[in-house]
Structure 1
């Protein structure tokens, strides 16, 4: 079972099939507000947060469902520890999965082995 389902329930709906995006690494943790997935770009690490489909279930119903933020690796390449810090910023947010996938495909250059 995927980590995000272990942490947020087997019925949590991402709105997309995670298996189609093998470069998204599940880093979900039950103490966070929603599932999260890190990935590497040509400029460093980023994290995709996927909130609940129903805005009423979100901690902040004003926030979009899909949010991409810059992140840092305080671990190693072999054992990454990806997280946000005071320098992290939101670079994309949307409630639409189509817009989110387009963001990934059009604007981010992934390493060849992760694509």
Structure 2
């Protein structure tokens, strides 16, 4: 009987560890998906009460998707630009090479 209680205790502890690990792994993914849905729900409700038409709703959703992509690209650009700046500051890149690399980065992201 003592072995059975020990076995049940170990099984319960193993279950709790696995449950906690899976929950911690999934939680950030669920949180990230929640934000855009709430925003789009508001627009759908506006369409439902005839404030927005179906075509306006589609345009708004496309507009948000394009802006989200632009913001994501700009954040990537900033990260890469900061990396190049750091390489220049530590002396790995000369001023001329840094300028050349920055120009290539600007061309890639189409930034003037």
TM-score (norm 1): 0.20
Q: Which has the higher contact order (CA 8 A, sep 6+)?
A: 1
Task: Judging by fraction of residues, say which structure has more helix.
Answer: 2
Larger radius of gyration: 2
TM-score (norm 2): 0.21
Task: Judging by fraction of residues, say which structure has more strand.
Answer: 1
